[in-house]
Amino acid sequence: MSKDKRPQDSDSPIEKLRIQRTNLSQAEFAVHCGIPLRTYQRWISGETEAKLTPQQWKTLMQVLNVQSVDEIPDNFASS
């Protein structure tokens, strides 16, 4: 049995969505969305602000099965 490497204790709203709506690790999620893993990690830690291209937004919404941009948090970082 493989261990789920997805952190479960993050306060990041986008991390919570990733964990709730996918079975993807951070690395898999980042690759699917066309985002370098370290960049994604900086976003969720609050080191940098998320700046996605239109294609990355579309893909992120598809991967998270989001129907409206209103479901995406304004800030990806932990509170």
- All domains of the chain, ordered by start, with CATH? 13-71 (1.10.260)
Residues in the chain: 79
Q: What is the pTM of this model?
A: 0.81
**What average pLDDT score do residues 33-43 get?**
95
Q: Which residue has the tokens 């209103």?
A: 70
H or E segment to which residue 33 belongs: helix 26-33
pLDDT for residue 49 is more than 80: yes
> Of 69 and 14, which is predicted with more confidence?
14
In this prediction, what percent of the chain has a pLDDT beyond 70?
A: 87
Q: How confident is the model at residue 77 (pLDDT cuts 50, 70, 90)?
A: confident
